[in-house]
Amino acid sequence: MSQKCAWIINFGPDDRPAQMAAAQLNAYGLPAAGQKWPKGEDKAWMNSAEEAAQRNTAVIILVGQAAELDPATRAELALFRLALQTHRGAPLNGLSLLAGVPAAPAQAEGRSGMLDDWLAPADARWTARAVARAHAPVAPAWPVRLGLHAHERLGAWLEVHPSPGQNSPGACVGVAGEGASIDFHAVGPAAALPERSVNEYELQGLKFDIGPLAFEAWALQNRIAPDHSYFVRIAGLPSHLAIGSLPEGQLEDIHIVSIAS
């Protein structure tokens, strides 16, 4: 395995912020690599996550203009994060050196934002914090377990467990956002797509509203052990996820996670 590095993502045409960040990190002994964000390119986040994983990325640095992070770009960045964390099998922290403040997206009450910790402005001690987080990452404070297995041929599979560390009497995942949908699901051991799945009490195309958000969901009533997960294949670019358990076929304990946060 190559030496750990910081992955600098530049949102904007000016290379100088990325070059300055790389020089400061190198002075602290943390090499830097990175990219200009491929804004508007379909599923480019998938290739970016794979490339960053191959470089043994241990921390993310965001530079450039915060105004470039429109809702679609934030959603792509969130999927990049999930896919890269899944490649690594470990949490991945990010620090924002963005100029300006990203426009606030529409939010559902009680939601968790997938990028809340990444988009918080970094302070003057950011280089030391980046080195620390590269070697000792802090797990995100999400109420559910999340991962993403992204393949050009097999598609993008969201991995969830609605009650981390516990047995769950089923699972439900809903997606909100124009054009977002689910078209397949399965249950199996965590951390890898299952080769086969016996699905119990399936629900497909379930529709419900939470505040201003309209969700389309799939669900299973399989018992999901702590070392297993529920997998759903997603299409499009969701803005929010609704994740819960399914005891006796009834939706319970729904958590809202904002992807475009």
Q: pLDDT for 6-44, tens place per residue? A: 999 999 999 999 999 999 999 999 999 999 999 989 899
Single pTM value for the model: 0.95
pLDDT for position 6: 98
Residue boundaries of the structural domains of the chain = 5-135, 145-258
Helix (H, G, I), strand (E, B) or coil at 123: coil
Candidates 2.30.42, 2.60.40, 3.40.390, 1.10.3470; CATH matching 145-258: 2.60.40
Using an 8 Å Cβ cutoff, are 46 and 83 in contact?
A: yes
pLDDT for position 101: 78
| Residue stretches of the chain with pLDDT short of 50 | 108
Dihedral class, residue 199 (left if φ above 0, else alpha if ψ from -120 to 50, else beta) = beta
User: Helices (DSSP H) in the chain: which residue ranges?
Assistant: 16-27, 44-54, 71-88, 116-119, 126-135
pLDDT for position 129: 97
pLDDT for position 121: 93
Look at strands 5-11 and 32-36 and give their pairing. Answer: parallel
pLDDT for position 109: 54
Count CB-CB contacts under 10 A for residue 12.
19
pLDDT for position 105: 55
Count CB-CB contacts under 10 A for residue 154.
11
Helices (H) and strands (E) in the chain, counts: 5, 14
- H/E run at residue 234: strand 228-235
Give me the CATH code for the 5-135 domain, please: 3.40.50
pLDDT for position 1: 65
Structure tokens at 187: 């249950």
